[in-house]
Structure 1
Amino acid sequence: MMWMLAERYVTDNNLREGLLSREDYKPFPAIEERHKWSEIPQSLKKFWMDKGESKLNHPWPTLTATLYMDYIRTGNRVKYDSALLGRRQDLAALVVAECIENEGRFLDDIVNGIWCICEETFWGIPGHGYMMQRQDPLPDVSDPVIELFSAETAALLAWTYYLLRIKLDAVSIMVGERIQLEVKKRILDPYLNRSDFWWMGFNQERMLNNWNPWCNSNCLSAFLLLEDDPQRRAAAVIKTMRSLDHYLERVGSDGGCEEGPKYWIYAGGTLFDCLELLYGASGGMIDIYDEPLIRQIGSYIYKVFIDDSSYANFADSSAKVHIPAELAYRYGRRIQDARLSGLGAMEQKRKREEATQLEFSAMFRLLPALFHYAEIENDVGDAPYIRDAWLDGIQVMAAREQEGSSKGLYLAAKGGHNDESHNHNDIGHFIVYCNGSPMIIDPGVVTYTSKSFFAERYTIWAMQSAYHNLPIINGVEQREGRQHQADDVHYRQEDRLASLSMNLAGAYPDCAEITKWKRSISLIRDPQPYIEIKDCFQLQRASDDITLVFMTPHPPRIEGNGSIVLQDELHNTLIVRYNGDKFVVSAEVISLGDEVMRGIWGDQLFRIKLRATAAVKQGESVIIISER
């Protein structure tokens, strides 16, 4: 075990003395420190004042027992989750508006919001109720489990009291005392007293993912802002570092996020939040920003950047990701990576108000966005169009025609295994963009329901290999599980080409009757750039039940025998060439009823299927994809 944090700092006798006390820890200006608040750009002030004013005399809708039970009864995760998270977003908007204006106009609504949240039985969501010892349609008030949103709630209340302490105490000292009581009972005490929460990593009963740094960052915020006892404060910092070490041990040296670029915001991004909290609370003593792994975790996000808000979206990631501009910018500055900080600056310029958006009420993201906004605006912020990237830990490659430009062809492909966090059965899968426009795609993820993370996950079409750009062999798809993995994986990169090859046979169960299926996925840059998908296979018996699948958001146009044309609304055009003697082509419409997926692709997707015309025991297929 490499103790990147614990061994370096827990054994240091100066750790407890080096930690700032609650009164001395001042990461951001409170409301009475008017100088910094007055320097916030006027456009930003107006944005947040408008948000706050829209919540004046807020009714704070009730979170009923039956609304909570709707998850168990129907599988719907949206209704209750949206209501719960909406409360927190509304409170944060009111807090920021009051800090900007400083006239007391929002205080009554803030107090009502705090009181309503403190009276909630459970600060988490129904989908995480599985963590409670007694399983029931309603949460067990006697079992204060720490999950993502209970931890975030504690942090939000802690930041609210930190920013408005003088004002809230003037209204009633009971407000602050209630915050401290509820956060201590629900988060601080369980965090110190229990080590059985799976996301902590101490029992190693399941893989760690974004939950580890995400929960730790919010629990740590609550301790630093509310805990007066120096021994409990130090114990929490030590436990956080040990837990984070377990997470870092599981991240490959490539720093890749197997959960996909959307989840980098909550995996690598909240790891950075943890490191910033530790750095600030120790006066800069706890500092691992020079570690290669920390740099690699940061650089992952621009290695899978395609163009605009498009990223190579394997696993449960959407194809469009709006990364927090301030997060990428500050992370890049800390590790002295101009590409990462440039991506953050570019994101802020691309959508001016993006840095002001509040997602999951994370005040430790919002406050830096406010106070660093002007600095980020002044950064040039060039887009990091990396020509070649290879993440050997998660076995993901990306390649484009030329460095520094989104023009031309872009290819991303993956190997790996089918037990990744937020896994899709997608070994050997690839995506193709043309001039920054999606042409052959990964559909992404649908709205989460009760099926999304448990036994029924792979009944959802978006998780199945049959809806990725992969072969279906003898009518059989890939299967989930760590045993289903790519082998003989090789990445090759040179000026002329970038290529990833692997044997896919292990991704399929025995009933597929595959002896070997070698897939090579290549971008050839000259003389005329094109993408080649080559499948060389050997089966246990001759079969004509072989189908190659390609997913696209554009209606495919079949031109003659062996040619398919894909064109987007901007007239970017790809031609897909295949051996018309070996395959017959068909296409079906996939109607999209899911709100999340419709928001990315519109009303429909198309699934192109190339089916073998003759029974073969072994053979080769070559697909050529090029601009027209």
Structure 2
Amino acid sequence: MSRFLLFIFILLIAIPSKGMLNPIVELNLLTKSFSEEDIRKSLLSSKQWVPYPDYKDRHGWNALTRSVYNTLIEEGEACLKYQWQVVKATDYLAFERDGSRVIMEKPMNENAKVLSKLFLAELAEGKGRFFDQIINGVWYFTEMSTWSLSAHVPGYQSSKRSLPQSDTHVVDLVAGDMGSMLSWIHYFFKTEMDKVNPEIASRLKTHIKARVIQPYLTRNDMWWQAFDIAPAQVVNNWNPWCNFNVLTCLLLIEDNEQQKVAGIYKTMQSVDKFINYIKHDGACEEGPSYWGHAAGKIYDYLKILSLATGDKVNFFDQQMIKDMGEYIAQSYIGGDSWVVNFADASAKSTADPLLIYRYGRSVNSKEMQRFAKYLHDKEPTKFRFGRDAFRSLEDLATFQHIALESASTPTNAYKWYPETEFLYIRDQNLFFAAKGGFNKESHNHNDVGSFLLFLDGQPVFIDAGVGTYNKKTFSKERYDIWTMQSDYHNIPRINGYQQRFGAQYKSQNNRFDAKKREFELDIAGAYPKEAQINSWIRKYRVEDKSLLITEQFDIENPQTEHVIHFLLAKEPRLKIGIVELNDGAYALSYDKSLFDASVEAIEQDDIRLSKVWGNQIYRLSLKAKTKTKKGIYRFSIK
């Protein structure tokens, strides 16, 4: 049986039945396809596999940077007198003192961005003009106590504090990014740095090994590695993101062939844990904002693994990998770059057209390539500088290719992700999205059964998204934050109760009828037992430029009136039995004999939210006039 057919067979028997959510299926796609010995036999030297010109190859770099040469030089020149910022001890302490992450992250990120600009400017120009500042940057980063963020350090230190401990290195997202970028700097500039002083490159190599490679090889307790996970543990974008960075460091820095091969295979075992965890329908439960870090990093990881093995280890023919890529195109709504923003995702697109285009070429998806060109034409892509050196290098060639592509967005009438339980329906000027799922997804919001509705490219019923991350965001206090609560999604408060957090809080009996354009699910299981809900069947039906919502319920012992909440982008106008939406362009109709309507403004005082929604969004509440055990509620939106 071929590798592809074997994968399809395993995938088919692994698909969960209705009601099963988040099963860990030991698919092990990477390590079942290739052994450690296969990696050893196929591994190339860095000089063989790196697809970019040598630093001294001026013809090659002139050709590669032609379309963005002036930008690279101008940005590099602006950094020639940059004063490297010190990340102070109190910047780390700020996280445990007042929950601030930004105080430490801002100078760290600015230093990294400057180093990226200097690195790319020197590759483009090749005259040595930027070397002194590059050396300053390299020296600065090797003098730091840690490359990890203040919010991530406590989980890996015996002190459980945010101030870095001596001789304790762990791989988080930023430590990995820095290791990866500095590995590329070492690869391209080692010879030139040795001419200045051999200590520079030697010191850099020593620190990359100590801060990234050795912790990875010797530790299995970094949660994102997922080597010893509990049945309900989330495996999210950290896994492919960190493993990609470790793989890069191993390929470019590690000299010991045995350790290199063992380390590469260990990353494959770890990435398998992510592929085992995620749903095989291709949806990203973390939302479009995290696609570039989840599916996008799977792509980067598989790409560099393919390059390093002379394309012998290649997984781009797998349907699951293609579906993961196309999710980003399917989740695009349109208008002012709106996207389906379930979980901790922004409602505005942050997708990288160049990454989408490359991914699309690798998996042979014209949908992705044309969508990438659409985004690129909509707002011409500027060259992006940052910690991700690999993507910057890949972008140089992508600019030339994407210019030749034609532009379009997906036109399929619907997209149903049966395992993740996401549904999208397009109908002329209407875009509807709804979700089932469970309340322990990565970057979870308690939002089982919620929906979004856009009409004429404008948001009507919305998900607010998430505010600026702070100490509460990923703590036990997460659900004290309003954006995470079901009361601030398009979901009912039933018998006085909101939905709860946990893998056991989930929808049941989900059914999508494509012909009727009807989605039905029982959301009773997303609420605590104290709510005494026997069933609450929510049904959505998309008709000609309209949406019908039906709530059929059975409550054991109603103690208070039910409230149906709707989150709105614009202030509604209340009339008896009708709510006028978006300045009267649309209307929600309800049974005036059953409900009293009220509306409240929700101030958007967080910059991450206000830059999307403005100063306010609105919550419409339809409160039942009586405590009801059984019944049917109907709402019509036209």
TM-score interval for Structure 1 and Structure 2 normalised by the shorter chain: over 0.9
Aligned to 2:563: 547
Aligned to 1:567: 582
Contact kept in structure 2, 1:542 and 1:618, CA below 8 Å: no
Aligned to 2:393: 367
Aligned to 1:317: 345
SS in 2 for 1:531: strand
Aligned to 1:287: 314
The one-character-per-residue Cα deviations of 1:141-180 (angstroms, maximum 9, x if unpaired) are: 2221111111111001011222333332332222211110
Aligned to 2:589: 577
Aligned to 2:34: 9
Aligned to 2:545: 529
TM-score scaled by structure 2? 0.93
Q: Which amino acid aligns with 1:521?
A: Y
The one-character-per-residue Cα deviations of 1:294-341 (angstroms, maximum 9, x if unpaired) are: 112112212211115221110011111221112111111111111012
Paired residue for 1:221, among 248, 268, 273?
248
Partner Cα separation in structure 1 for residue 320 and residue 460 of structure 2: 33
Matched, 1:348 2:395: no
Partner Cα separation in structure 1 for residue 162 and residue 507 of structure 2: 40
Distance 1:119 1:592, change over 3 A: same
Aligned to 2:3: none
Q: Which moved more, 1:303-312 or 1:61-70?
A: 303-312
Matched, 1:303 2:330: yes
Q: Which moved more, 1:17-26 or 1:391-400?
A: 17-26
Give, in angstroms, the shift of residue 27 of structure 1.
2.5
Contact kept in structure 1, 2:67 and 2:399, CA below 8 Å: no
Aligned to 2:489: 468
Q: Which moved more, 1:276-285 or 1:470-479?
A: 470-479
Q: Which moved more, 1:161-170 or 1:319-328?
A: 161-170
Matched, 1:417 2:438: yes
Paired residue for 2:170, among 126, 137, 145?
145
TM-score scaled by structure 1? 0.94
Matched, 1:277 2:286: no
Aligned to 2:601: 589
| 1:447-486 equivalences in 2 (<5 Å) | 447-486=468-507
Q: Which amino acid aligns with 1:515?
A: N
Matched, 1:389 2:404: no
SS in 2 for 1:207: coil
Matched, 1:617 2:629: yes
| 1:1-400 equivalences in 2 (<5 Å) | 1-10=26-35, 13-40=37-64, 44-129=68-153, 130-205=155-230, 206-307=233-334, 309-354=337-382, 356-359=383-386, 361-400=387-426
Partner Cα separation in structure 2 for residue 243 and residue 423 of structure 1: 23
Partner Cα separation in structure 1 for residue 484 and residue 77 of structure 2: 42
Q: Which amino acid aligns with 2:546?
A: Y
Distance 1:377 1:612, change over 3 A: same
Give, in angstroms, the shift of residue 453 of structure 1.
0.8
Partner Cα separation in structure 1 for residue 330 and residue 541 of structure 2: 17
Partner Cα separation in structure 2 for residue 101 and residue 347 of structure 1: 30
Give, in angstroms, the shift of residue 544 of structure 1.
5.3
Partner Cα separation in structure 2 for residue 14 and residue 470 of structure 1: 51
Partner Cα separation in structure 2 for residue 97 and residue 309 of structure 1: 31
Aligned to 2:4: none
The one-character-per-residue Cα deviations of 1:539-577 (angstroms, maximum 9, x if unpaired) are: 12345521111111211122x311112227xx9x22111
Aligned to 2:449: 428
Paired residue for 1:506, among 525, 531, 537?
525
The one-character-per-residue Cα deviations of 1:99-155 (angstroms, maximum 9, x if unpaired) are: 122222222111111111111101010111122233124111222111111111100
Partner Cα separation in structure 2 for residue 489 and residue 259 of structure 1: 20
Q: Which amino acid aligns with 1:552?
A: L
Partner Cα separation in structure 1 for residue 47 and residue 64 of structure 2: 25
SS in 1 for 2:81: coil
The one-character-per-residue Cα deviations of 1:260-310 (angstroms, maximum 9, x if unpaired) are: 111111011000011001100000000111112111211221221111522
Q: Which amino acid aligns with 2:396?
A: L
SS in 1 for 2:316: coil
- How many residues were matched structurally? 609
Distance 1:44 1:229, change over 3 A: same
Aligned to 2:9: none
**Which runs of 5 or more residues in structure 1 are unaligned?**
403-407
Partner Cα separation in structure 2 for residue 18 and residue 42 of structure 1: 33
Partner Cα separation in structure 2 for residue 347 and residue 163 of structure 1: 32
Give, in angstroms, the shift of residue 580 of structure 1.
1.6
Contact kept in structure 2, 1:588 and 1:606, CA below 8 Å: yes
SS in 2 for 1:24: helix
Partner Cα separation in structure 2 for residue 341 and residue 141 of structure 1: 47
Q: Which amino acid aligns with 1:169?
A: D
Contact kept in structure 1, 2:67 and 2:400, CA below 8 Å: no
Distance 1:451 1:542, change over 3 A: closer
Identical aligned pairs, as a percentage? 33
**Which runs of 5 or more residues in structure 2 are unaligned?**
1-25
The one-character-per-residue Cα deviations of 1:358-387 (angstroms, maximum 9, x if unpaired) are: 35x111111111122011111112122432
Aligned to 2:535: 516
SS in 2 for 1:208: coil
Give, in angstroms, the shift of residue 22 of structure 1.
3.1
Give, in angstroms, the shift of residue 41 of structure 1.
6.1
Partner Cα separation in structure 2 for residue 381 and residue 131 of structure 1: 46
Partner Cα separation in structure 2 for residue 19 and residue 72 of structure 1: 44
Q: Which amino acid aligns with 1:534?
A: T
Give, in angstroms, the shift of residue 478 of structure 1.
0.6
Aligned to 1:405: none
SS in 1 for 2:29: coil
Distance 1:290 1:197, change over 3 A: same
Partner Cα separation in structure 2 for residue 454 and residue 153 of structure 1: 26
Give, in angstroms, the shift of residue 243 of structure 1.
1.0
Q: Which amino acid aligns with 1:445?
A: V
Partner Cα separation in structure 1 for residue 560 and residue 175 of structure 2: 53
SS in 2 for 1:189: helix
Partner Cα separation in structure 1 for residue 110 and residue 61 of structure 2: 25
Q: Which moved more, 1:34-43 or 1:256-265?
A: 34-43
Partner Cα separation in structure 2 for residue 398 and residue 252 of structure 1: 17
Partner Cα separation in structure 2 for residue 475 and residue 48 of structure 1: 58
Partner Cα separation in structure 1 for residue 97 and residue 287 of structure 2: 30
C-alpha RMSD over aligned residues: 1.6
Q: Which moved more, 1:391-400 or 1:51-60?
A: 51-60
Q: Which amino acid aligns with 1:618?
A: K
